[in-house]
Amino acid sequence: MTDCAQCPVRDQAICSSLSDDDVARLGQFGRLQRLRRGTVLQWEDEESLLVGNVIEGVLKLSSTASDGREQTLGLAHQGDFVGRPFGPKSAHSVVALTDAQVCTFRRAEFDSFARTQPELEHDLLERALTDLDRTRSWLMLLGRKTAGQKIATFLLDMVERARASGAPECGPVTIELPCGRQEIADMLGTTIETVSRQITALRNRGIIETPGTRRIMILDREALVLLTEAE
C-alpha cells in the first residue's frame, strides 16, 4: 500500500489516466520497491508475475543469447510502465541499470483491475504503440547501421532526452550518460571496444569532448546528424 497522492510520477505514469479514487484502489495492491543497481526484477522466460511503474532511476529490458552475449531491448525511465500485462510470460529480463524505485503490482491483480478501467487500458495502448515505434526504429539501427552511425544515433538520442529535460536547443550540450561503455555496446549490438574506438574517433574529429568517462560534450550536432545518415 502506497501513498499515491504524493507519488512523484502520479501525473506521469499510467496513474495519470485514473481518478484519485481509482488510483487509491490501485495503490492498495501496489508495492514500493527500492532496487539496487543490477537487481533483476524479472528473469527472461520466467512466468510474468509483476508489472509496475518506474518512479526513479532507469531500468533496462534485456535478453541474453545462449553464448552469453547480451542485447538490451529497451530502457524504462521515470514514469514508464514495465512488465507484460495480459500474458503468461515475459520474454526478457528487467534489470535496474541504476539504483531505482519502482511501484509494482502482481500481474493477475493488475490485469483484472485494468480490465475495469478503459482509460487506463487506453493509456497502456498508447504507451505500447509508442514503444513499438521506438523498438522498430531500433531494428533499423541494429540491422542496417554501421558502428559509426550507431554511436551517432545513440548520442543524438541522449541529446534529445537532455533537451526534453531543459537543455538548450542548439549549441554545445553536455550530456550525462546513464550507463557505461558495456551497456552502450549492449544497446547498439556491438562491443565495448568498438564503442570506445568510435567515441575516440569523434573526439579526434572535434565533434565531441569527453570531460569524464560518463560525460560527453556535444560540440557539433550537425556533424552527428550527418553521420547518422551516411559515411
Partner DNA sequence: CGGATCATTGACTGGTGTCAACTTAGGTGG
Partner DNA sequence: CCACCTAAGTTGACACCAGTCAATGATCCG
User: Cβ contacts of residue 26 below 8 Å, gap of 6+?
Assistant: 4, 15, 18, 105, 110, 113
138 binds its own copies (CB under 8 A): yes
Q: Which partner in its own copies, DNA, none is near 21 (CB below 5 to 8 A by kind)?
A: none
- Closest by CA to 7, choosing from 123, 98, 103, 111, is 103
126 binds its own copies (CB under 8 A): yes
204 binds its own copies (CB under 8 A): no
Give the integer Cα–Cα distance in Å for 89 and 45. Answer: 6
Burial class (CB in 10 A: 0-12, 13-18, 19+), 105: buried
Stretches 32-40, 62-70, 96-104, 192-200: which one binds its own copies (CB under 8 A)? 62-70
Give the integer Cα–Cα distance in Å for 163 and 125. Answer: 26
Is residue 62 within 8 A of residue 71, CB to CB? The reply is yes
Q: Which partner in its own copies, DNA, none is near 191 (CB below 5 to 8 A by kind)?
A: DNA
43 binds its own copies (CB under 8 A): no
- Closest by CA to 159, choosing from 148, 145, 175, 135, is 175
Stretches 50-58, 97-105, 118-126, 165-173: which one binds its own copies (CB under 8 A)? 118-126
- Closest by CA to 18, choosing from 105, 120, 124, 106, is 120
Among 1, 20, 46, 136, binds its own copies (CB under 8 A): 136
Among 45, 133, 160, 193, binds its own copies (CB under 8 A): 133
140 binds its own copies (CB under 8 A): yes
User: Cβ contacts of residue 60 below 8 Å, gap of 6+?
Assistant: 72, 73, 74, 75, 76, 94, 95, 97, 183
Among 39, 56, 85, 217, binds its own copies (CB under 8 A): 85
In the complex with DNA, the residue whose CB is nearer, 4 or 184, is 184
Binding site for its own copies (CB under 8 A): 61, 63, 65-67, 69-71, 73-74, 84-87, 91-92, 115, 118, 121-122, 124-126, 128-133, 135-140, 142-145, 188-189, 229-230
